[in-house]
Structure 1
Amino acid sequence: MGKNYKIKSIVVETVLSTIICAIGVCLFIEAGLGSDTIDVLVDGMHRHFSITLGQADQLFTFTFLILAFLCNRQYIGMPCIAYSIMIGFMIDFVNQWIMPLHLSEASFFIRITCVLLGQFCFALSYGIFQTVEKGMNTVDAVIYFLCKKTKIAYKWLRTIFDVIFFIIGIYFGGVIGIGTIFSVCFTGIMTDFVHQMIVKVKRKKGIAYMEIAGEDVA
């Protein structure tokens, strides 16, 4: 019974993380105020190589899946692989509903609200997925590998990665704006905060979660 509950919990959290992340991607891009850093890169790939957003995201995700498997495979398992496969399709599916809203033509207030919601979606998605056994997303798996090697906190290494994604995305022609700057500054900090909150809740309720080497959650 316990094992079945654990499996169901992993499946539910993996699917939930994927859906939330896809919503965040679409809200950011369709708001037209600049994508988050990964989406700047994905959007740039989408425009530069004339492929769909989902296909571009899959290319990015599978590239980091290989890197994560090579350097930090202890955090890579079926949930991570399932996420890598599902995320591109989920983005294309969600975008069918968000694109017709023409968010880029809405008022600035609505557009900036979409950016903030999108940013929250990313932090929540990443934070949830970091606690799923062998379910850490590929970028975070690489970042946590570097955290162990350099002793630099996740939130700061994540910010460095965001700057790199930002620069490459601009080169490929990705859309940037207020949302992009917000993402560079706050993705790492917000994700770290949400992750710690989720860990505290799971500890309090006695729910199993994946422990990350070296993490310190009071």
Structure 2
Amino acid sequence: MKVRTTTPHPRPSRALADLGPIAQLRAGRLVRRLVQLFVGLVLYGVSLAMMVRGDLGLAPWDVLHSGLIRHVPLTLGQAVVVMSFVVLVLWIPLREMPGVGTLANALVVGFSADATLAVLEVPGPFAARLALMVGGVLVCGVATALYIGAQLGRGPRDGLMTGLARRTGLSLRLVRTGLEVTVVLVGLALGGVLGLGTVLYALGIGPVAQALMPYFVVDVGATPPVPEVPEAG
């Protein structure tokens, strides 16, 4: 007697999708994804402010931002916004397509950082500053997983990285490393803040975001996974 077996229907993947701007808006669970996107971006700005108040070193791009504000009349958050749009101009020759999340990222992170800096004071004890630094990296990891998992477009700096990788044929990891070394060197030349937090961020943000990503990727259908989680921004 033969026992008939049935093949279960494949379940939709919770992988990151490669969606264009219109497809991002047409994909399912849009309200949930928009809420998740903006929560993630606000938290990203909060994490930036936490590392600033910890005063033990900033993320690579924020080393550049902190150096820039020494020479122009901008707040740190405003520098984040300005540099985001400068980076978006660099998308044009790379033919990268922005999404809702791209434009939201360019605006919300900087405003959130400034709002948090306005209410978060510099702690005196070293232990409190250390806690802010470590907490900032962890919160940034959560924020990265939230906003990327919403599947509403890359951030300006992510798109620059993926666009350069596509145009040059180099790996994402190599392009990311080259970009981050470049912005740190330029930031240092401008007087930016480099320290222990910069190293911790560089080593920790990828593993933290990668570990949390499965919990926050919103399912929009079965799609091939993206092999590497880029840095938020």
- Structure 1 counterpart of 2:154, from 116, 123, 136: 136
For residues 88 and 79 of structure 1, what CA distance do their matches in structure 2 show?
14
| Deviation (angstroms), 1:216 | 6.8
1:102 alignment partner AA? V
Name which of 220, 223, 232 aligns with 1:208.
220
What is the one-letter code of the residue matched to 2:49?
C
Provide Cα deviations, 1:170-200, integer angstroms capped at 9, x if missing partner. Answer: 111112221122233444x33xx624642x3
The verdict on how the C-alpha distance between 1:71 and 1:116 changes in structure 2, with shifts beyond 3 A counting, is same
1:121 aligns with 2:139: yes
Unpaired stretches in structure 2, ≥5 consecutive residues: 1-25
| Aligned counterpart, 2:59 | 36
Which residue does the alignment assign to 1:194?
A: 209
2:192 alignment partner AA = G
- TM-score when normalising by structure 2: 0.74
Equivalences for residues 1-218 of structure 1 within 5 A: 6-74=29-97, 76-98=98-120, 101-103=121-123, 105=124, 107-148=125-166, 149-152=168-171, 154-187=172-205, 189-190=206-207, 194-195=209-210, 197-198=212-213, 200-201=214-215, 207-208=219-220, 215=227
The question of whether the paired residues in 2 share the 8 Å contact of 1:48 and 1:173 is answered with: no
1:28–1:35 CA contact under 8 A, matched in 2: yes
Q: Which runs of 5+ in 1 are unaligned?
A: none
Higher relative CO (Cα under 8 Å, sequence separation at least 6) belongs to 2
CA, structure 1 residues 65+16, in 2 after alignment: closer, same or farther (shift >3 Å)?
same
Distance 1:214 1:208, change over 3 A: closer
Return the offset for 1:146.
Answer: 3.2
Q: What does the per-residue CA deviation read over 1:79-100, in whole Å, with 9 as the maximum and x for residues that have no partner?
A: 21122122222211111111xx
Q: Report the Cα distance in structure 1 between the residues aligned to 2:204 and 2:222, rounded to whole angstroms.
A: 24
Richer in helix (by share): 1
Deviation at 1:137, TM superposition (A): 0.8
Instruction: Give the count of matched residue pairs.
Output: 203
What's the RMSD between the two structures over aligned residues?
2.9
Aligned-pair identity in percent equals 19
Q: Using the TM superposition, give the Cα deviation of residue 102 of structure 1 relative to its aligned residue in structure 2, in angstroms.
A: 1.8
